[in-house]
Amino acid sequence: MGGISASSPQLQRRNWTWLYFLLPSIVIMLLFFIYPILLTFFYSFTNLALTGEAAKELKFVGLDNYTRMFQDPTVRISIWNTLVFLIGSAVIGQQVLGFLIALLMKHKNKTFRRVIGTVVLAGWVTPEIVCALCLYSFFGDEGTLNAIISFFGISPVTWLFTVPMLTVILANIWHGTAFSMLVFQAALDDVPSEIEEAAVVDGASKLQILLRITIPYIRETITTNAMLVTLQTLGVFGLIYAMTGGGPGTKTTTLPIFMYNQAFVNYQLGYGTAISLLLLLLGIVLSLFYIRSFKK
């Protein structure tokens, strides 16, 4: 019987058929992802600006933007603020609170889960700018929080000036916890009840079941959710900008805020793109860290 040889044109066409289906995705990725990154990388070595002499003629300045960036003390402050905001609102805040809410909702009736889920989801589905205005009104000098503590005879506090980083951390926790809650809720529902029942029969307490069965069973979900929440929080801009504008001073100036100020307030686009690459590098490092943790 005759067959199709490996070198026949028909078989070669079949081997390349998959490329036709992937071609639209490849084009979109190149156009909207790879090309902007390469263009940003190029502009970071130039004096690109919106006003002044630099706006008239684009010049290659080498590593001047990067030298300026690492000598700028505000960059170090921005990196530190970014890490504090990241750990406080994403790694600890959204992860822990989302897990606790999902754990408390486990084995509860549908009505209870529906009510609690709706309340938590309200913060997530609210647009970021609306969320920022709501929390600004809550923490403002004449806001809800000061009205509550004044009722108990406590003097009002200028929260946005005294503890600005804490206010934006709490705002981001309220805005994003629902995502972690949904992820952990699905993961906890998949934990076999037979294992937990067997542990109860063996005399294990609820804390032992949580630490030795539940958490190890969903450890991959915890790592994946941590990576997603971290990368999402790393680029938070509107929430902080609307609440504090990066102030007072530089107390809440994260890398996205500092990049925006340099690129679109000071009109130094070349310097701003260099800062954006630093933000991209930080995201890559954190992603590699989570991937290694996931493998372990």
What is the domain partition of the chain in residue ranges? 63-295
For residue 288, give both structure tokens: 């590699």
Q: What is the pLDDT of residue 105?
A: 85
Q: What is the pLDDT of residue 14?
A: 61
Return all residues near 98 (Cβ < 8 A) that are at least 6 apart: 177, 178, 179, 180, 181, 183, 184, 225
| Average pLDDT along the chain | 87
Report, as an integer, the average pLDDT of 282-286. Answer: 90
Return all residues near 55 (Cβ < 8 A) that are at least 6 apart: 49, 267
133-192: per-residue pLDDT in tens? 999 999 988 889 999 999 898 999 999 999 999 999 999 999 999 899 989 988 998 888
More confident residue, 157 or 7: 157
46 φ/ψ angles, rounded to the nearest 5 degrees:
-125, 175
Rounded-to-integer distance, Cα 94 and Cα 72, Å? 32
Is the pLDDT at 29 greater than 90? The verdict is no
Q: What is the pLDDT of residue 22?
A: 82
Beta-bridge mates of residue 46: 60
60 φ/ψ angles, rounded to the nearest 5 degrees:
-85, 120
Place of tokens 């030298």: 67
Q: What is the pTM of this model?
A: 0.86
Q: Which of 17-21, 27-31, 95-99 has the lowest mean pLDDT?
A: 17-21
Q: Taking a C-beta distance cutoff of 8 angstroms, is the pair 259, 275 a contact? A: yes
Q: What is the pLDDT of residue 257?
A: 96
Q: What is the pLDDT of residue 262?
A: 93
Is the pLDDT at 109 greater than 60? The verdict is yes
197-240: per-residue pLDDT in tens? 888 888 888 889 888 989 889 988 998 899 999 999 998 999 99
59-93: per-residue pLDDT in tens? 899 899 999 998 999 999 999 999 999 999 998 99
Report, as an integer, the average pLDDT of 6-32. Answer: 73
Q: What is the pLDDT of residue 97?
A: 92
Report, as an integer, the average pLDDT of 106-125. Answer: 80
- Classify domain 63-295 by CATH architecture: Orthogonal Bundle (1.10)
Q: Taking a C-beta distance cutoff of 8 angstroms, is the pair 183, 155 a contact? A: no
> Percent of the chain, pLDDT > 90?
46
Is the pLDDT at 37 greater than 90? The verdict is no
Is the pLDDT at 30 greater than 50? The verdict is yes
Is the pLDDT at 1 greater than 50? The verdict is no
For residue 104, give both structure tokens: 């408390």
More confident residue, 17 or 43: 43
